[in-house]
């Protein structure tokens, strides 16, 4: 494996849930000299400083450059992926076997979660001597969802629709067992957000090692690339922001989601800590730029007819810029032209994504975030196959392009000097 795929691999393997992903981002920020800030306190920040603030499994990191041009360059990605969420009182006994009662978190391709090693992971809240504390954690054992044998479910190869309440309960123990007591022995667990997630490791495949497969590529590839872009950017103007949000897979309209006020409040707090007033804050937003970074569907080799006929998004075709007339993506002609210019100036390959006109569009956190903020933006991302499967894949060259694209975005002074394209 190449060095950058090794590092991505390590990040994916450790990032079992949104909570783990956020913790791993935080560890890299601390290693790179970023200072943690608390939303409950006044912020002391200055030019050349590097900071981050958290809200649950969401985190916003930023670096402060010269402020003669006060603008924000923001890239945002989501830390969550579809998974099976464990309910309270999850143990369900059938004869001498105990399974776990789960509900859907996001729109998983659920049949792919069967017959895989699954980890129980997420956040527990414990009570230690009257003090409540949230901890990111995982159980020390695996569980699995066994398929019915073909001999018992003869129609499985023709049509198999997963009923999450009856088909998808992971098998957990024989005879007896309380999940929380066996998984987190010695902890006084009061409440939890735990998920059954695919525990398989990432791997490289293809005749020339050109492909990469892993659980949770949507959207941890974007999280990783945005973070590396922020860390490696050579910029001296404005404020560079990398925002990592929970809850995109359930629509973003939550306290920790991009539809909440976390980003807006954080950008405002940055402006005021730097002694800018309301008017200057609004002016900064008007010449800022936002990239919503999320994976895109590549053309499937077995089903090319499912892709748009004139904008074929290809594995190996570069960073994807997404557009949608119905507004599912925030890209418009002004912002498309801006992104193309930044990528072309940096030699970053790019391509386009449109849905087929007879197909329903997916969406990203871009719309939720920008409706609140009032900043120009575009939707970009990595081309991939098997989105929302327990294991997804992409072409390694595209990931390099995404890393380069995000570094170019943060390094560009285009926005600080020009805003988006001049309107005549
Ligand atoms: Zn996504």
Per-residue pLDDT 10s for the chain (424 aa) are 788 899 999 999 999 999 999 999 999 999 999 999 999 999 999 999 999 999 999 999 999 999 888 999 999 999 999 999 999 999 999 999 999 999 999 999 999 999 999 999 999 999 999 999 999 999 999 999 999 999 999 999 998 899 999 999 999 999 999 999 999 999 999 999 999 999 999 999 999 999 999 999 999 999 999 999 999 998 778 999 999 999 999 999 999 999 999 999 999 999 999 999 999 999 999 889 999 999 999 999 999 999 999 999 999 999 999 999 999 999 999 999 999 999 999 999 999 999 999 999 888 999 999 988 989 999 999 999 999 999 999 999 999 999 999 999 999 877 667 666 555 5
Closest CA to 23 of 183, 125, 135: 135
Query: How far is ligand 1, taken at its centre, from the CA of residue 12, in Å?
Result: 15
Query: How far is ligand 1, taken at its centre, from the CA of residue 248, in Å?
Result: 7
pLDDT of residue 219: 97
pLDDT of residue 390: 98
| 94 SS3 class | strand
Q: Which residues surround ligand 1, an ion (CB under 5 A)?
A: 218-219, 294
- pTM equals 0.96
Beta-bridge partners for 60? 53, 243
State the CATH class of domain 83-198.
Answer: mainly beta
Query: How far is ligand 1, taken at its centre, from the CA of residue 17, in Å?
Result: 14
And the tokens for 234? 């050579």
Residue with tokens 């198999």: 160
Q: Do domains 3-81+215-418 and 83-198 have the same CATH topology?
A: no
In angstroms, how far is CA 275 from the centroid of its own chain?
32
Spatial contact of 118 and 112, defined as CB atoms under 8 Å apart: no
Query: How far is ligand 1, taken at its centre, from the CA of residue 13, in Å?
Result: 18
- The total number of residues shown for the chain amounts to 424
Query: How far is ligand 1, taken at its centre, from the CA of residue 210, in Å?
Result: 22
Query: How far is ligand 1, taken at its centre, from the CA of residue 396, in Å?
Result: 18
In angstroms, how far is CA 280 from the centroid of its own chain?
31
What is the spatial distance between Cα 282 and Cα 325, in angstroms, rounded to a whole number?
28
pLDDT of residue 77: 98
Indicate the pairing of strand 383-385 with strand 296-297.
parallel
Q: CB 24: neighbour CB atoms within 10 A?
A: 23
Query: How far is ligand 1, taken at its centre, from the CA of residue 219, in Å?
Result: 5
DSSP state of 96: T
Query: How far is ligand 1, taken at its centre, from the CA of residue 423, in Å?
Result: 32
Query: How far is ligand 1, taken at its centre, from the CA of residue 69, in Å?
Result: 32
In angstroms, how far is CA 16 from the centroid of its own chain?
12
Query: How far is ligand 1, taken at its centre, from the CA of residue 152, in Å?
Result: 36
Query: How far is ligand 1, taken at its centre, from the CA of residue 410, in Å?
Result: 21
Spatial contact of 133 and 187, defined as CB atoms under 8 Å apart: no
Query: How far is ligand 1, taken at its centre, from the CA of residue 220, in Å?
Result: 9
Query: How far is ligand 1, taken at its centre, from the CA of residue 411, in Å?
Result: 25
What is the spatial distance between Cα 122 and Cα 191, in angstroms, rounded to a whole number?
11
Query: How far is ligand 1, taken at its centre, from the CA of residue 209, in Å?
Result: 25
Residue with tokens 């004139």: 310
Query: How far is ligand 1, taken at its centre, from the CA of residue 365, in Å?
Result: 8
DSSP state of 304: G
Query: How far is ligand 1, taken at its centre, from the CA of residue 20, in Å?
Result: 17
User: Is the four-CA dihedral 326, 331, 332, 337 of positive or negative sign?
Assistant: negative
Query: How far is ligand 1, taken at its centre, from the CA of residue 91, in Å?
Result: 31
Query: How far is ligand 1, taken at its centre, from the CA of residue 191, in Å?
Result: 27
Query: How far is ligand 1, taken at its centre, from the CA of residue 295, in Å?
Result: 6
Q: CB 164: neighbour CB atoms within 10 A?
A: 15
Query: How far is ligand 1, taken at its centre, from the CA of residue 293, in Å?
Result: 8
Query: How far is ligand 1, taken at its centre, from the CA of residue 218, in Å?
Result: 5
Query: How far is ligand 1, taken at its centre, from the CA of residue 231, in Å?
Result: 22
Query: How far is ligand 1, taken at its centre, from the CA of residue 351, in Å?
Result: 18
Query: How far is ligand 1, taken at its centre, from the CA of residue 281, in Å?
Result: 30
CATH superfamily of 3-81+215-418: Zn peptidases (3.40.630.10)
Query: How far is ligand 1, taken at its centre, from the CA of residue 77, in Å?
Result: 8
Closest CA to 134 of 17, 258, 264: 17
Domain ranges in the chain?
3-81+215-418, 83-198
Query: How far is ligand 1, taken at its centre, from the CA of residue 174, in Å?
Result: 36
Alpha carbon distances (Å) from 74 to 125, 250, 281, 377: 32, 22, 15, 9
Query: How far is ligand 1, taken at its centre, from the CA of residue 10, in Å?
Result: 20
Closest CA to 320 of 279, 265, 379, 266: 379
pLDDT of residue 423: 53
Query: How far is ligand 1, taken at its centre, from the CA of residue 186, in Å?
Result: 36
Q: Could you give the strand order of the β-sheet that contains 97-105, starting from the edge strand earlier in sequence?
A: 131-143, 118-128, 189-198, 83-94, 97-105, 171-174
Q: CB 64: neighbour CB atoms within 10 A?
A: 19
Question: Which secondary structure element, helix H or strand E, spans residue 20, and what is its range?
Answer: helix 18-31
pLDDT of residue 422: 55
Query: How far is ligand 1, taken at its centre, from the CA of residue 189, in Å?
Result: 31
């Amino acid at each position: 494996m190449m060095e950058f795929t090794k590092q991505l691999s390590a990040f994916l393997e450790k990032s079992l849930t949104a909570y783990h992903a956020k913790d791993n981002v935080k560890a890299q920020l601390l290693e790179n000299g970023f200072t943690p800030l608390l939303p409950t306190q006044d912020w002391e920040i200055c030019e050349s400083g590097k900071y981050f603030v958290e809200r649950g499994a969401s985190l916003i990191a930023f670096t402060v450059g010269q402020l003669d041009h006060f603008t924000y360059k923001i890239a945002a990605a989501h830390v969550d992926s579809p998974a099976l969420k464990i309910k309270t009182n999850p143990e369900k006994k059938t004869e001498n076997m105990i399974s776990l009662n789960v509900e859907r978190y996001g729109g998983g391709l659920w049949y792919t979660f069967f017959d895989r090693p699954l980890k129980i992971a997420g956040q527990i809240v414990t009570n230690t001597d009257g003090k409540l504390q949230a901890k990111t954690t995982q159980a020390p054992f695996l569980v699995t969802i066994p398929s019915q044998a073909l001999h018992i479910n003869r129609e499985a190869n023709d049509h198999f629709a997963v009923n999450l309440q009856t088909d998808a309960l992971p098998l957990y123990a024989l005879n007896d067992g309380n999940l929380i007591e066996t998984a987190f022995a010695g902890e006084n667990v009061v409440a939890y957000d735990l998920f059954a997630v695919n525990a398989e490791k990432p791997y490289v495949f293809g005749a020339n090692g050109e492909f990469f497969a892993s659980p949770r590529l949507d959207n941890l590839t974007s999280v990783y690339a945005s973070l590396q872009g922020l860390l490696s950017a050579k910029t001296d103007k404005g404020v560079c922001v990398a925002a990592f949000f929970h809850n995109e897979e359930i629509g973003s309209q939550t306290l920790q989601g991009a539809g909440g006020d976390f980003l807006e409040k954080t950008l405002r707090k940055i402006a005021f800590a730097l002694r800018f007033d309301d008017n200057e804050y609004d002016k900064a937003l008007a010449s800022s730029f936002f990239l919503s970074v999320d994976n895109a569907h590549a053309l499937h080799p077995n089903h090319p007819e499912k892709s748009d006929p004139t904008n074929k998004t290809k594995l190996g075709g570069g960073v994807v810029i997404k557009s949608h007339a119905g507004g599912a993506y925030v890209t418009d002609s002004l912002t498309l032209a801006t992104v193309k210019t930044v990528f072309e100036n940096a030699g970053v390959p790019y391509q386009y994504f449109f849905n087929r006109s007879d197909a329903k569009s997916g969406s990203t956190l871009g719309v939720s975030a920008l409706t609140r903020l009032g900043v120009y933006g575009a939707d970009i991302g990595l081309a991939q196959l098997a989105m929302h499967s327990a294991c997804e894949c992409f072409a390694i060259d595209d990931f390099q392009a995404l890393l380069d694209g995000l570094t170019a975005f943060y390094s560009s002074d285009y926005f600080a000097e020009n805003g988006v394209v001049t309107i005549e």
